[in-house]
């Protein structure tokens, strides 16, 4: 890293460097495209971009960290803000580290690898606080014992690497050699960066991806070309049971026909003897979605098994199963703690998926009812309950905002409702259902602080109080953060 003290022409604080660029700019934007500026970085966006200020104007700069001063080239200017590219690091943050991954700058997967891990956890906690205050209009306690919502320190990992039990890599045509490549999309594009080793993936995933990619090349399997819609292999997905060691390989193809299918299966079985399942998924649509609707087993089982906190789960190709098992246990234990179960309570688990949270809750609840819109997930949830000999659960497929009111009409009332929605947050009708049902406690598990804050505002206005929030770092080195939230009826 270079220090500004060794360089000339660094300009006044937060102002322009001597770049020879045109000095005139509109009244709304003091800088023009391609102009060189010196920028003080004051924060990070939710996408991990540095937020800079120069002459009172906001510039977003990829790779810059709070507390830093950088020389940057203005790339795009809008009325109230702009985007710039970092050209030189003049003053570095004490929290800056050298990214461990050699393709960190190309790959869009790990946005925070250049920020040391303790600082990542601090930023994620503050990111949650900012959303609660700005979007949810919630009063956040400033110190222990003061009034307001308590936001705990983020629960991090002792070893924040190699945590992902699932890899889903796109396959495409190499830009140079024209052959099959597989890896991750370059930041902000659909150009595939060929990758053989990802430091946040379980080592087994990387090993399998390397082998499947090589086998595909040697057998002449045509990679999918996104621009033309031609080619066969679109994605390779690998799931690893971290406790059991079982591995599933999913080949997503552009149509039902997979040339060299038998030989490919044979080669995978010979070279990867711990693979228990090889599955084909058919996706012949022009879409960004990974999976299509049709899935069938090429060889082996239709599921693999894994365990979370002693509970065994059967995982199929399209099952939703958290990708960081160690942190999932932390998250779900916190959800059970917030549910305050004594053994007699009735709990409703909305968005129950394959029953992961439901089965954690069932060990301490009287009865757990799970609802999920995906019928296959509900089938998996029932199988997982039976697999573990858990008999105090019931699962039903359908929209939670439709099923739960019907349960209420049938006399089912909940002491606790647990929600774990997708990134878009809870359906408004579900929030209305919760308010009508009036459980004593609500536990909200969220993967998106902004939609969490929005939904908490609705619940607060409807008679609930947000007591405590615990961020859990499910995705180290990325900008994503999960939260577990405890609310009580007032």
Put simply, whether the predicted model's pTM sits higher than 0.85 gets the answer yes
Asked if residue 259 lies in contact with residue 282, where contact means CB atoms within 8 angstroms, the answer is: no
User: For residues 58 and 84, what is the distance between their CA atoms, to the nearest angstrom?
Assistant: 10
At residue 22, the pLDDT reads 35
pLDDT at site 27 = 52
Select from 32, 67, 91 the last residue of a domain.
91
33-68 b/e with 16+ CB inside 10 Å = b?
Answer: bebbbbbbbebbeeebbbbbebbebebbbbbbbbbb
212: helix, strand or coil: helix
**CATH number of the domain residue 391 falls in:** 3.40.50.150
The DSSP output letter for 420 is -
**Rounded Cα gap, residues 165 and 152, in angstroms:** 27
Q: Which two tokens stand for residue 153?
A: 């320190």
Position 9 scores a pLDDT of 33
Residues in the chain: 490
Residues 341 and 481 in one domain: yes
Note down the domain range covering 441: 324-489
Q: Can you say whether the dihedral through the CA atoms of 191, 194, 200, 201 is positive or negative? A: positive
Q: What is the DSSP letter of 114?
A: T
User: Has residue 135 been placed in a domain?
Assistant: no
CA distance 350 to 461: 21
State how far the Cα of 337 lies from the Cα of 238, in Å rounded to an integer. 32
Of 282, 308, 334, the position where a domain reaches its end is 308
286: domain CATH number is 2.40.50.1070
Whether residue 348 is found in the same domain as residue 302: no
Residues designated as active site: 447
Q: Does one domain contain both 476 and 331?
A: yes
* Res 445: pLDDT: 98
- Is residue 360 within 8 A of residue 330, CB to CB? The reply is no
CB-count burial class (<10 Å; 0-12, 13-18, 19+) for 229 = exposed
Residues 6+ apart with CB under 8 A from 352: 358, 370, 371, 372, 377, 378, 381, 395, 420
Question: Same structural domain for residues 384 and 473?
Answer: yes
**Do residues 369 and 449 both lie within one domain?**
yes
Say which CATH number the domain at 30 has: 2.40.50.140
Residue 311 to residue 195: CA distance in whole angstroms: 34
Claim to verify: residue 190 and residue 55 sit in the same structural domain: no
Q: Is residue 99 part of a domain?
A: no
Residue 456 located in a structural domain: yes
C-alpha span between 87 and 107 (Å, rounded): 19
157 in any annotated domain: no
For residues 293 and 354, membership in a common domain is answered with no
Domain end among 277, 308, 339: 308
Q: Are residues 388 and 446 in the same domain?
A: yes
**What is the C-alpha separation between 268 and 221, in angstroms, rounded?**
14
Mean pLDDT, consecutive 10-residue segments, the chain of 490 residues? Answer: 34 38 51 94 96 94 97 94 97 97 88 97 98 97 85 98 97 80 86 92 97 96 93 97 97 96 97 97 94 96 96 94 97 98 97 96 98 93 97 97 94 96 95 96 98 98 98 98 98
Whether 260 and 359 share a structural domain? no
Number of domains in the chain: 3
Give the list of residues 6+ apart from residue 434 with CB closer than 8 angstroms, or none.
Answer: 417, 419, 442, 459, 462
Q: Is residue 371 in some structural domain?
A: yes
pLDDT of residue 12: 32
Same domain, yes or no, for 440 and 353?
yes
In-domain check, residue 182: yes
* CA 44 and chain centroid, separation: 18
Q: In this structure, are 183 and 302 located in the same domain?
A: yes
Claim to verify: residue 13 and residue 59 sit in the same structural domain: yes
Domain annotation covers residue 172:
yes
Kindly state whether residue 318 falls inside one of the protein's structural domains: no
């Amino acid at each position: 890293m270079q220090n500004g003290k060794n360089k000339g022409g660094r300009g006044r604080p937060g102002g322009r460097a001597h770049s020879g660029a045109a000095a005139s700019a509109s009244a709304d934007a003091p800088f023009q495209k391609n102009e060189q500026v010196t920028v003080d970085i004051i924060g990070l966006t939710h996408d991990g971009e540095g937020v800079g200020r120069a002459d009172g104007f906001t510039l977003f700069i990829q790779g810059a960290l709070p507390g830093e001063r950088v020389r940057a080239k203005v790339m795009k200017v809008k009325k109230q803000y702009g985007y710039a590219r970092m050209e030189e690091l003049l003053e570095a943050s004490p929290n800056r580290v050298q990214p461990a991954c050699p393709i960190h700058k190309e790959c869009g997967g790990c946005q925070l690898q250049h920020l040391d891990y303790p600082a990542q956890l601090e930023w994620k906690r503050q990111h949650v606080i900012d959303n609660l205050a700005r979007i949810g209009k919630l009063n956040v306690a400033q110190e222990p014992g003061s009034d307001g919502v308590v936001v705990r320190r983020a629960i991090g990992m002792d070893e924040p690497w190699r945590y992902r039990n699932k890899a889903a890599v796109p396959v495409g045509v190499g830009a140079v050699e024209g052959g099959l490549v597989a890896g991750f999309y370059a930041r902000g594009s659909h150009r595939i960066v060929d990758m053989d080793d990802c430091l946040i993936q379980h080592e087994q995933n990387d090993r399998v991806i390397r082998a499947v990619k090589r086998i595909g090349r040697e057998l002449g399997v045509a990679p999918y070309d996104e621009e033309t819609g031609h080619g066969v292999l679109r994605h390779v997905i690998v799931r690893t049971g971290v406790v059991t060691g079982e591995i599933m390989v999913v080949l997503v193809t552009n149509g039902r026909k997979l040339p060299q299918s038998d030989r490919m299966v044979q080669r995978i079985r010979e070279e990867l003897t711990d693979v228990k399942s090889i599955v084909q998924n058919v996706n012949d649509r022009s879409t960004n979605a990974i999976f299509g609707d049709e899935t069938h087993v090429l060889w082996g089982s239709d599921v693999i098994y894994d365990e979370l906190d002693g509970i065994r789960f059967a995982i199929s190709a399209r099952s939703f199963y958290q990708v960081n098992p160690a942190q999932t246990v932390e998250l779900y234990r916190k959800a059970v703690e917030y549910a305050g179960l004594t053994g007699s309570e009735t709990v409703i688990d909305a968005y129950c998926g394959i029953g992961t949270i439901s089965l954690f809750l069932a060990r301490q609840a009287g009865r757990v009812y799970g609802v999920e819109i995906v019928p296959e997930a509900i089938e998996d949830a029932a199988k997982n309950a039976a697999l573990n000999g858990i008999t105090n659960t019931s699962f039903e497929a359908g929209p939670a905002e439709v099923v739960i009111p019907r349960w209420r009409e049938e006399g089912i009332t909940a002491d606790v409702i647990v929600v774990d929605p997708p990134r878009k947050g809870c359906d408004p009708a579900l929030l209305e259902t919760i308010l009508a049902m009036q459980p004593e406690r609500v536990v909200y598990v969220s993967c998106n602080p902004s939609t969490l804050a929005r939904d908490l505002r609705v619940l607060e206005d409807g008679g609930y109080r947000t007591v405590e929030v615990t961020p859990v770092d499910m995705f180290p080195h990325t900008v994503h953060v999960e939260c577990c939230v405890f609310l009580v009826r007032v």
